[in-house]
């Protein structure tokens, strides 16, 4: 039937009509498929969860999806939405027993919602899919009641009342795992008020209020006391500050006047000192310039003499070297001349020998003559060598002598110049000191430390273990016993340093550096009669 209808239709429309019908059928099929795709692709809004159930995969009863979209296959799959709007649950909890067996009323409001993590969405798809809002609130309310009673039973009333954060933390820790089993999460907990049947919390509040009032009164009294003390201390500090300021003012005024007078005196003194110092410095600069000029002239003369001596020494050395080379050349020429003479004499002797042989002399005579000629030639050569060596040694000796003479002459001139400059310097010292004796004394003072050191070293190694004085009891020629005379003689035997400086150096030291106490010693050791004869001066006799 269908085939006959198609044949009739093809005969009626022809080939082009069949092609058009095929295109129309294809468009209708594609349009239907696209419409089906558009109607079966479900998009999930942000405040909902798309739950696809049916044939979703092995081991899965549903596939929840938050955000985005998914294709829901017809016939084998279906879908529903779960709202993510927060749910407020009022919990009028009354008569819950605490750890102290006191009944407590804790009215509160809990805010919950369906979770968006994978586990919470799967649990919500299993437990809450298809339920309306009152049923979801009823399930959450039962869970909250049980966990809240359990938390209150584990805490005391004071802990619940004072440590609200700890109480809320324990409530959240106990509720979140249980709510998550049905796909809910805890968003907020708001405790309205905490009351107990025995009035314990109210009594605690009255006690705290009384304590706060009492502490406030104590604080007011303490502040009043501190204010009075502060006023008194401020008055005292003000009086002290005024007195200190007046004292500082008076002291500053006196100090300023004194510093002004001292400063004026110092300026006047500095002015006079500066003028004198400038004058002394000017004179010292003039003397330094004169001395530098003399030193430069002396240095120039010394350098000129040294240069001349050096040049003369170099000329002498050059002449000596020239003489040595001339002697060597003369020796070489004489040696070669003597060798040539010896060769000529040897040739002559050999010619004579050959002539004698030619004349018919015997072979023995020719041999003897040849031997004699050879010995004469060797003797002549030895004489020539000895003379040449003697001439060479003579020339070398003359050159060395000339070089030594030139060197010694240059050194002598240098020493002469040094001594001449030293004599000129000593002459300037003598002229400056005003005579030879003052100059000698000044030079001795310069070497006094060396002389003292030498004298100290001379007696430093002498060791006196003991000094034994035998006193027969008889007095000496100057009176006193032998021991006193020995000590006095020992003291006068060593010349004091002061006496050396006075007699040799011509310098008399002031009395505050020390004085000789020999007068006192002799006065104490001399008999009274002799002291009276000498007028009480007790002058000691100078040792011979």
Count Cβ atoms below 10 Å from residue 480 Cβ, excluding itself: 18
Tokens found for residue 10:
């093809």
pLDDT score of 411 = 83
From first to last of the 544 residues of the chain, give the pLDDT tens digit. Answer: 455 655 665 555 566 666 777 778 888 888 877 777 667 778 888 888 888 888 777 677 788 888 787 878 778 888 888 888 899 999 888 888 888 888 888 888 999 999 988 888 888 888 888 888 899 999 999 999 989 888 988 888 878 877 888 888 898 899 999 999 999 999 998 888 787 776 666 667 666 677 778 888 788 888 888 888 888 888 888 888 888 888 888 888 888 888 888 888 888 888 888 888 888 788 878 877 877 887 787 777 777 777 777 777 778 778 777 877 777 777 777 777 777 777 777 777 777 767 665 665 666 666 676 677 677 767 767 776 777 777 777 777 777 787 788 778 888 888 888 888 888 888 888 888 888 777 777 777 777 777 777 777 766 666 655 556 555 555 555 555 555 666 565 555 445 555 555 555 555 555 544 454 444 445 554 554 444 444 444 444 434 3
Q: Is residue 72 part of a domain?
A: yes
Q: Is residue 324 part of a domain?
A: no
Whose CA is closest to 149, among 202, 182, 103?
Answer: 103
Report the half-sphere exposure of 387 (CA within 13 A, side-chain side). 14
Whose CA is closest to 113, among 187, 191, 50?
Answer: 187
pLDDT score of 143 = 92
Any idea of the CA torsion for 452, 454, 455, 461, to the nearest 10 degrees?
Answer: 130
Q: How many domains does the chain have?
A: 3
Asked if 74 and 96 sit in the same domain, the reply is no
What gap in Å lies between CA 122 and CA 176, rounded to an integer? 16
Q: Reduce the DSSP state of residue 495 to 3 states and report it.
A: coil
Q: Is residue 43 part of a domain?
A: yes
Question: Domain range for residue 94?
Answer: 84-198
Asked if 55 and 91 sit in the same domain, the reply is no
Asked if 452 and 493 sit in the same domain, the reply is yes
What gap in Å lies between CA 517 and CA 523, rounded to an integer? 10
Q: Is residue 99 part of a domain?
A: yes
Asked if 54 and 95 sit in the same domain, the reply is no
Looking at 65, 82, 99, which one is the last position of a domain? Answer: 82
Asked if 88 and 182 sit in the same domain, the reply is yes
CB-count exposure of residue 15 (10 Å: 0-12, 13-18, 19+): exposed
Asked if 104 and 176 sit in the same domain, the reply is yes
Asked if 103 and 28 sit in the same domain, the reply is no
Asked if 115 and 71 sit in the same domain, the reply is no
pLDDT score of 353 = 64
What gap in Å lies between CA 159 and CA 151, rounded to an integer? 12
Tokens found for residue 205:
């509040």
pLDDT score of 9 = 58
Asked if 78 and 91 sit in the same domain, the reply is no
pLDDT score of 186 = 92
Residues in the chain: 544
Asked if 521 and 510 sit in the same domain, the reply is yes
What gap in Å lies between CA 238 and CA 25, rounded to an integer? 113
Q: Is residue 396 part of a domain?
A: no
pLDDT score of 111 = 93
pLDDT score of 531 = 41
What kind and span of H or E run contains 189?
strand 184-191
Provide the whole-model pTM: 0.36
pLDDT score of 521 = 44
What gap in Å lies between CA 184 and CA 35, rounded to an integer? 37
Whose CA is closest to 538, among 490, 472, 480?
Answer: 480
Chain centroid to Cα 543, Å, comes to 72
Tokens 């340093």 belong to: 497
Asked if 66 and 92 sit in the same domain, the reply is no
pLDDT score of 542 = 39
Q: Is residue 296 part of a domain?
A: no
Looking at 82, 113, 129, which one is the last position of a domain? Answer: 82
Whose CA is closest to 167, among 145, 148, 186, 140?
Answer: 148
Tokens found for residue 418:
């040094």
Question: CA-based Rg of the chain, rounded to a whole angstrom?
Answer: 72
Asked if 59 and 136 sit in the same domain, the reply is no
Q: Is residue 228 part of a domain?
A: no
Q: Is residue 4 part of a domain?
A: no
Looking at 82, 99, 129, which one is the last position of a domain? Answer: 82
């Amino acid at each position: 039937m269908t085939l006959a209808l198609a044949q009739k239709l093809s005969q009626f429309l022809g080939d082009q009509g069949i092609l058009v019908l095929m295109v129309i059928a294809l468009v209708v099929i594609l349009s239907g498929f696209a419409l089906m795709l558009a109607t079966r692709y479900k998009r999930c809004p942000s405040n909902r969860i798309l739950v696809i159930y049916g044939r979703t995969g092995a081991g899965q009863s549903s596939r929840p999806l938050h955000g985005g979209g998914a294709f829901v296959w017809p016939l084998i799959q279906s879908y529903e939405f779960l709202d993510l709007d927060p749910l407020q649950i009022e919990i009028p909890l009354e008569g819950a027993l605490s750890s102290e067996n006191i009944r407590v009323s804790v009215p509160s409001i809990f805010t919950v919602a369906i979770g968006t993590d994978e586990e919470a969405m799967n649990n919500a798809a299993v437990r809450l899919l298809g339920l309306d809002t009152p049923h979801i609130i009823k399930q959450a309310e039962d869970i909250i009641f049980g966990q809240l009673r359990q938390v209150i039973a584990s805490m005391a009333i004071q802990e619940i009342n004072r440590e609200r954060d700890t109480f809320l933390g324990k409530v959240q820790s106990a509720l979140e795992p249980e709510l998550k089993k049905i796909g809910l999460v805890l968003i907020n907990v708001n405790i309205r008020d905490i009351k107990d049947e025995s009035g314990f919390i109210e009594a605690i509040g009255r006690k705290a209020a009384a304590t706060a009032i009492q502490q406030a009164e104590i604080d007011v009294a303490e502040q009043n006391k501190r204010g009075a003390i502060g006023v008194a201390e401020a008055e005292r500090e003000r009086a002290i500050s005024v007195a200190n300021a007046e004292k500082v003012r008076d002291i500053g005024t006196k100090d300023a006047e004194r510093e002004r007078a001292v400063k004026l005196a110092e300026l006047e003194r500095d002015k006079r000192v500066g003028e004198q110092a400038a004058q002394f410095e000017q004179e010292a600069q003039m003397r330094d310039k004169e001395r530098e000029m003399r030193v430069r002239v002396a240095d120039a003369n010394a350098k000129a003499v040294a240069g001349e001596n050096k040049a003369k020494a170099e000329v002498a050395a050059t002449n000596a070297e020239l003489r040595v080379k001339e002697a060597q050349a003369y020796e070489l020429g004489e040696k070669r001349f003597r060798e040539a003479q010896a060769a000529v004499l040897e040739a002559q002797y050999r010619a004579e020998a050959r002539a004698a042989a030619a004349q018919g002399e015997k072979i023995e005579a020719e041999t003897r003559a040849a031997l004699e000629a050879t010995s004469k030639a060797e003797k002549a050569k030895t004489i020539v060598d000895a003379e040449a060596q003697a001439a060479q040694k003579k020339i070398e000796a003359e050159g060395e002598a000339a070089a030594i003479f030139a060197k010694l002459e240059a050194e002598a001139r240098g020493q002469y110049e040094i001594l001449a400059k030293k004599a000129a310097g000593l002459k300037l010292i003598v002229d400056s000191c005003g005579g030879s004796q003052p100059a000698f004394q000044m030079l001795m003072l310069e070497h006094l430390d060396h002389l003292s050191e030498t004298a100290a070293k001379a007696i430093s190694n002498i060791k006196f273990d003991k000094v034994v004085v035998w006193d027969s009891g008889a007095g000496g020629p100057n009176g006193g016993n032998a021991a006193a005379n020995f000590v006095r003689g020992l003291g006068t035997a060593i010349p004091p340093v002061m006496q050396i400086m006075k007699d040799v150096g011509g310098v008399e030291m002031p009395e505050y550096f020390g004085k000789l106490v020999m007068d006192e010693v002799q006065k104490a050791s001399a008999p009274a009669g002799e002291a009276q004869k000498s007028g009480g001066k007790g002058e000691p006799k100078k040792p011979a």
